[in-house]
Amino acid sequence: MIIGIDASRAVTAQRTGTEAYAFFLIQALIPLAAERGHQLRLYFNQPPPANLFPQADCVTSIVIPFPRLWTHLRLALELQRRPPDLFFTPAHVIPYTYTGPSAATIHDLGYHYFPEAHPKRQLAYLRWSTRHNGRRARYLLADSQATKEDLVRLDGLSPDKVSVVYPGLDPTLRRVEDEGRVTAVLHHYGITPPYLLFISTLQPRKNLVRLIRAYRAANLPHQLVLAGKTGWLSQPILEEIANGQWPFPKSEIRNPKSEILLPGFIDDADKAALLSGAEAFLYPSLYEGFGFPLLEAQVCGVPVLAANTSSLPEIAGDSALLVDPLDTAAMTAALQRLVQDQTLRARLIGRGFENVRRFTWRETAVRALDLLENGPRS
Lowest average pLDDT, out of 65-69, 270-274, 312-316, goes to 65-69
227 and 239 inside one domain: yes
149 and 195 inside one domain: no
- What does R_g of the chain's alpha carbons equal in angstroms? 22
Question: Residue 244 region, left (φ>0) first, then alpha (ψ -120 to 50), else beta?
Answer: beta
Task: Give 204's pLDDT tier (boundaries 50, 70, 90).
Answer: confident
54 pLDDT more than 90: no
pLDDT (0 to 100) of residue 377: 62
Residue 46 domain-assigned? yes
22 and 108 inside one domain: yes
Residue 159 domain-assigned? yes
pLDDT (0 to 100) of residue 107: 94
Task: Give 231's pLDDT tier (boundaries 50, 70, 90).
Answer: confident
146 and 222 inside one domain: no
What pLDDT digit, counting tens, does each position of 277-307 carry? 999 999 999 999 999 999 999 999 999 999 9
256 pLDDT more than 50: no
User: What CATH code is carried by the domain that includes residue 247?
Assistant: 3.40.50.2000
Question: Residue 51 region, left (φ>0) first, then alpha (ψ -120 to 50), else beta?
Answer: left
Strands (E), 165-288: 195-199, 223-227, 260-264, 280-283
DSSP code per residue over 146-168:
HHHHHHHHHH---GGGEEE----
CA distance 120 to 145: 28
Mean pLDDT of 128-143: 95
Residue 351 domain-assigned? yes
196 and 344 inside one domain: yes
When divided into structural domains, the chain yields a total of 2
Task: Give 255's pLDDT tier (boundaries 50, 70, 90).
Answer: very low
16 pLDDT more than 80: no
> Cα angle vertex 107, ends 324, 204, to 5°?
45
pTM, full prediction: 0.89
184 and 246 inside one domain: yes
CA distance 120 to 124: 6
pLDDT (0 to 100) of residue 257: 44
Range of the domain at 66: 2-168+360-374
Q: Evaluate whether 74 touches 49 at the Cβ level (below 8 Å).
A: no
**DSSP-based three-state secondary structure for 376:** coil
Residue 174 domain-assigned? no
SS (H, E, C) 55-89: CCCCEEEEECCCCCCHHHHHHHHHHHHCCCCEEEE
150 and 210 inside one domain: no
28 and 123 inside one domain: yes
CA distance 298 to 320: 9
pLDDT (0 to 100) of residue 376: 74
132 and 187 inside one domain: no
> Cα angle vertex 187, ends 185, 191, to 5°?
95
103 and 133 inside one domain: yes
Strand order in the sheet with 59-63: 59-63, 39-44, 2-6, 86-89, 102-106, 139-142, 162-164
Residue 173 domain-assigned? no
Mean residue pLDDT of the chain comes to 92
22 and 89 inside one domain: yes
CA distance 130 to 136: 10
41 and 8 inside one domain: yes
The percentage of the chain sitting over the pLDDT mark of 90, rounded to a whole number, equals: 79
pLDDT (0 to 100) of residue 333: 98
Residue 34 domain-assigned? yes
